[in-house]
Structure 1
Amino acid sequence: MKIKGLSTIRQKLMVFVVLLCGVLLGLVWLLNVWLLESFYTHKVHTDLQRTADAFSLLIQKYETLEDPSQPNGISPDFYSAVQQPEYTTMLLGKCIEIADANYNCLLGNHALSSGQCLLHPARTTLFGDTGLPSWNNKNVLAYRAQTLADGDMYFTLNGQNGMRQMVVCKNVADRYTVIVSTDLERIGQAGEVIGQQVPLIAAVLLAVSILGAYLFSKWFTKPITELSHAAREVAKGNYQVRVREPENADELGQLARDFNTMAAEVGRTSELQRDLIANVSHDLRTPLTLIKGYAETVRDLTGDDKQKRTDQLDVIVDETDRLSGLVNSVMELSKYSSGTMKMEPVRFDLAQLCDEVADRYRNVCEQNGYHLDVQTDQVCMVKADPDSMSRAIHNLLSNAIHHIGEDGYVALHVKPQADGSTRVEIIDHGAGISKEDLPYIFDKYYRSRADAGKVGTGLGLSITKAILISHGYAFGVDSELGKGSTFWFVAAAAEPEKSAEA
């Protein structure tokens, strides 16, 4: 929902807090003014009903209350029972009477807080003399008769000076009646007083809520404002900008950390783009210059000299091939990275594929006096795209030979793992990779300082990375300066082939 005039999170937070305060004040007013008397009356009625039920169960237990042999005409067992603490405590603040079917009061007690009873004007001690006329006045007699005739009921009596009394009448087996009553406080007046205080309370709380909302929104939106400012700086090209990362791990703190990570990655990408321009420009400039130079030479000077013309045309062809290779590598990386390269996974022996790729380098290694150590003697079944995996292994092996050490050692090891996966390692004893360069060695167009100035596009490892990611394989490199590098990846095990149904 869009609220007109509220354009910032800070404004929306302030409005939300103020509205929330208003809603809470409305609920307080509703509960304390409108519903106060209803809640109070319900509570009093429940308490009186519980007391009447307790005495009704006691009467039913003894069945007969009258005992003419006793001075008070009441069974001594029942009389002793009603004077136990569990019953006398129920009667605090209440008036109770127990009458027989002839409407005669057998037991009665006044313990009202006001000391005045609208049912029985006179007050006596606990279950005292019930022969006084006040215990058997015509109003009470009518209530007893109606209870015996119609059953349980409750009502409220109104007296002079605002006195009110709630009465609960209980019919016990059509033989006795229990009438319990208590004073009703002037709860309505209390509600009126609270209602008069609510506007003042609302004004104070509204002022406090506005101030609190202002301070809270300022504190809450401060990191967002910092992020917004930093984002504008990044848009201007300042990739060194960073935002303060809060110590707590809430969502804003995580957002700040993610922003800093993003700024660092954007800065690194920008640097790689600059490197791309420099590297590709160099790689393009050299063959283009040679092609143009030799073409002009052929045209102007050596057109009639067949041998020179052939040699110079060979240079043009070679440099053209270099340009084509560069363009093809860029296109290939783009296809793998974007996912447009269609993969056709099949089950095959990865060890055999590695051996076939290594076989292409045996002649080169022999001619240069290199030692190519190939360990592919164990079957390693995987499910992958053979052409893509062949390309990845070729790139890694070519990279190892390109960085071969003085001992001329390069190795390709294929090792089955206990979980059924296959680990492939390409090892060289070259100069190694520094710790600063190691995290970025698979990035496109990236070259370590040791490779600065060397001919090449820097795309081979990037293509390998894209291929392995598309297959979901783990990969990495372990290296130490002066000792060489080990590039590796782990291919998941192929699911066993399902046997054909007979």
Structure 2
Amino acid sequence: MRQQEKKRRSIGIRGQLMWFLCLICLLLLGMFWFLSTQLLEPLYTKHIQKQLTEEADLIVTKMDEAIASGTTLSYWAFGGIKVTNEEFFSQLGSEIYSGGELSSFCVDISDATLRTIKKYENLSYCSLHQKSFPDTLDDDAFYSTARQVRQYCRENGEFARVLPAAKPSAYNQLVVGRMTSDGAYTVLVSTTLMHVSEAGTVLSTVLPLAAALIFAFSMSAAWLFSEWFTKPLRQLSGAARQVAQGNYAVHVETRRNDELGDLAEDFNHMAKEVQRASQMQRDLLANVSHDLRTPLTLIKGYAETVRDITGDDKAHRDEQMNIIVDEADRLTALVSSVMELSKVTSGAEKCEKVHFDMAQLCDEVSERYDAICTQNGWQLRLELPEEELPVYADPNMMQRALHNLLGNAMHHIGADGVFVLRAEKCAEGVRVEVEDHGPGIAADDLPYIFDRYYRSRSDAGRQGTGLGLSITKAIFQQHGFRFGVQSTVGKGTTFWFLMTSR
């Protein structure tokens, strides 16, 4: 019920992707609107101002150079007649028209009398030379006519300002003012800002339609992308529900070479492992029930025999009681192994690592097998170097692992009656091997030899709990040691593990 309520409350990954992509689209549209409506005019005006400033500086530089060389640029003759150096201003005009980036501009050059001595007009309508504005404005505005702007330049020095449109059909005009070094001449360079106004008008008209189209396209793209992106997740969700219902043979098909593809592969691997674990659980129940049932049946049967039949026959009674004791010991060993495996694999028994000499531990463990080897005519060959083998591990757990491996080797000892305990230094630290010359293990059985209750075909009918190697594997895994087994059928088997020194 909670899952259904949670499912109703959640919009899902697909919905989240849709919302995220839509928000990104709206954010981008908002940024585009802001740039086009709020920043376009200032940026455009700044760019035009830079070009006008370069033109004004070029003109002033040329005039300063001419004045410094003694060239007379202009004078007023008797009667107020204006006389200009046509040769200089003709050459200056050629440089202005050929060297600048501006295609439409107006250049106004005046002298100290505020009267024009030269004008280069390349504008269809120039607000600078119109007289439709009032004669006076507030302190933050310009005077409207060219004469008043010249006066403003002479009073304030260099400036760059925007003239408001002279009439409703006109456009604002940017003016840059400069003066020659001697203060004799004033240079005004201006151009209309009609392009930015037209661009703003076009954008204002096109932007809503473009925004609608972009948003519709983004919604469609987001829908398709979310469908493509969440498809493997939906497949994984369906497969997970099948696994929850007990279908461990489920397999998720994926052709993606990204994290989702890796997730699908990991899920398939998990499903296989769960299927294998489930099978092992069934095998465990079958094996444990069989292993427990057999000694319990024997104990009960022989106990009833002692009670009902044997009576005072001491020889038969002792034989049957010995069988009861042996089966009870077998049952105790099985329960102890199960408990030991449970403690090691669950982490209830923590490994307490210390530094010790593995060669000394191998020597001490090998001494425990002297009596049984002498009794059965076997030989435990100990191959150790003269030097110490320092390792960092739990000595009690390592002793238990060696006993399990040596016990396994004795159960599979070959005709020569020899099994080997070997330890030597290696690149990783210390390599320990337990070798027997028995029948060996088939290649098909090797991957499962450390599994609990697993018995190879050659072990069928042998005594033992089938948990020794599983306990050993759990010990190695708790220490983080690498381990493995090598075997050749008919020649023997070698179990090995690598220990670190820190």
Same fold (TM over 0.5): yes
The aligned counterpart of 1:177 is: 186
Structure 1 counterpart of 2:19: 15
| Residue 194 (structure 1) aligned to one of 188, 192, 203 | 203
Equivalent residue, structure 2, for 1:391: 400
What corresponds to 1:205 in structure 2?
Answer: 214
Q: Which amino acid aligns with 1:155?
A: V
Q: Distance in 1 between matches of 2:352 and 2:73?
A: 109
Question: Residue 487 of structure 1: CA displacement?
Answer: 0.8
Q: 1:435 to 1:23 in 2, by over 3 A?
A: same
Assess if the C-alpha contact under 8 Å between 2:107 and 2:190 holds in 1.
Answer: yes
Cα distance in structure 1, aligned partners of 2:311 and 2:359: 52
CA change 1:93–1:387 in 2 (3 A) is same
Q: Which string of whole-angstrom CA distances, capped at 9 and with x for unpartnered residues, describes residues 421-458 of structure 1?
A: 21111112233333333233222233333334433222
In the alignment, the residues of structure 2 paired with residue 17 and residue 138 of structure 1 have an alpha-carbon distance, to the nearest angstrom, of 52
Distance 1:88 1:221, change over 3 A: same
Deviation, 1:284, is: 0.7
Identity %: 49
Alignment of 1:423-502 (within 5 A): 423-493=431-501
Checking the alignment, whether the CA contact within 8 Å between 2:355 and 2:501 is kept in structure 1 is no
- Give the residue type in structure 2 aligned to 1:150: N
- In 1, distance between residues paired with 2:73 and 2:180? 24
- Distance, in Å, in 1 between the alignment partners of 2:92 and 2:434 is 97
Structure 1 residue aligned with 2:250 = 241
CA root-mean-square deviation:
3.2
Once residues 86 and 70 of structure 2 are traced to their aligned partners in structure 1, the CA distance between those partners, rounded to angstroms, is 5
Unaligned runs of 5+ in 1: 122-136, 495-502
How far apart in 1 are the matches of 2:196 and 2:8?
44
Distance 1:55 1:485, change over 3 A: farther
Q: Which amino acid aligns with 1:479?
A: S
Contact preservation (8 Å) 1:65, 1:75: no
Q: Distance in 2 between matches of 1:167 and 1:144?
A: 11
Query: Is it true that 1:96 corresponds to 2:107 in the alignment?
Result: yes
Structure-1 separation of matches of 2:456 and 2:240: 30
- Tell me: CA distance 1:54–1:302, structure 2 relative to 1, closer, same or farther (3 Å): farther
Match for residue 111 of structure 1 among 122, 134, 139: 122
Other structure's SS at 2:422 match: strand
* Contact map agreement 1:67 1:75 (CA 8 A) in 2: no
Query: Partner residue of 2:348?
Result: 340
Partners of 2:427 and 2:412 in 1: CA distance: 32
CA distance, structure 2, for counterparts of residue 478 and residue 21 of structure 1: 61
CA distance in 1 between partners of 2:144 and 2:212 (Å):
54
SS in 2 for 1:68: coil
1:292-327 C-alpha deviation (Å, 9 max, x unpaired): 111112222234333333332222222222122111
Name the structure 2 match of 1:414. Answer: 423
For 2:396 and 2:451, locate their aligned partners in 1 and report how far apart those are by CA, in whole Å: 22
User: How far apart are residue 62 of structure 1 and its match?
Assistant: 6.6
Q: After alignment, is 63-72 or 180-189 more displaced?
A: 63-72
Paired residue for 2:165? 158
TM-aligned CA distance change 1:203 to 1:149, over 3 Å: closer
Paired with 2:86 and 2:453, the residues of 1 have a C-alpha distance of: 109
CA contact (8 A) 1:94 1:180 kept: yes
1:360-405 deviation line (CA, Å, top 9, x unaligned): 2233334434343211243212232221111011111111222223
CA contact (8 A) 2:333 2:465 kept: no
Q: How many residues align?
A: 473
Give the CA deviation at 1:288. 0.7
Deviations 1:133-183 (A, max 9, x none): xxxx99323222221211222122413432432111234546143311112
Range with greater deviation from structure 2 (253-262 or 454-463): 454-463
Residue from 128, 143, 146 that aligns with 2:149: 143
1:248-280 CA distance string (max 9 Å, x none):
1x1111110110111111111111111211221
Q: In structure 2, what is the Cα distance between the partners aligned to 1:185 and 1:365?
A: 109
What is the alpha-carbon distance in structure 1 between the residues aligned to residue 493 and residue 64 of structure 2?
97
Contact 2:55 2:96 (C-alpha < 8 Å) held by counterparts: no
Kept in 2, the 8 Å contact 1:279–1:457? The answer is no
5+ residue gaps in structure 2? 1-5, 75-82, 131-142
Distance in 2 (CA, whole Å) between partners of 1:69 and 1:21 is: 61
Alignment CA distance shift 1:85-1:246 (3 Å): farther
- Answering whether residue 28 of structure 2 is matched by residue 24 of structure 1, we say yes
> TM-score when scaled to structure 1?
0.84
For 2:48, which of 27, 34, 44 is the aligned residue?
44
The 2-side partners of 1:174 and 1:206 are apart by 61
Deviation at 1:35, TM superposition (A): 4.2
In the superposition, the TM-score normalised over structure 2's length comes to 0.84
C-alpha change, 1:91 and 1:110, in structure 2 (3 Å) is: farther
Instruction: Provide the residue aligned with 1:264 in structure 2.
Output: 272
Contact 2:389 2:425 in 1 (8 A): yes
User: What is residue 317 of structure 1 aligned with on the other side?
Assistant: 325
Give the whole-Å Cα distance in 2 for the aligned partners of 1:28 and 1:3: 37
Verify the 8 A CA contact 2:67 2:73 in the aligned structure 1.
no
Match for 1:180: what amino acid? V
Q: Take 2:460 and 2:200, find their aligned partners in 1: how far apart are those partners?
A: 86
Q: Deviations over 1:35-81 (max 9, x none)?
A: 443443333233323433454556666773762399944996x9868
Partners of 1:3 and 1:203 in 2: CA distance = 32
The answer to whether the Cα contact below 8 Å between 1:425 and 1:488 also exists between their aligned partners in 2 is yes
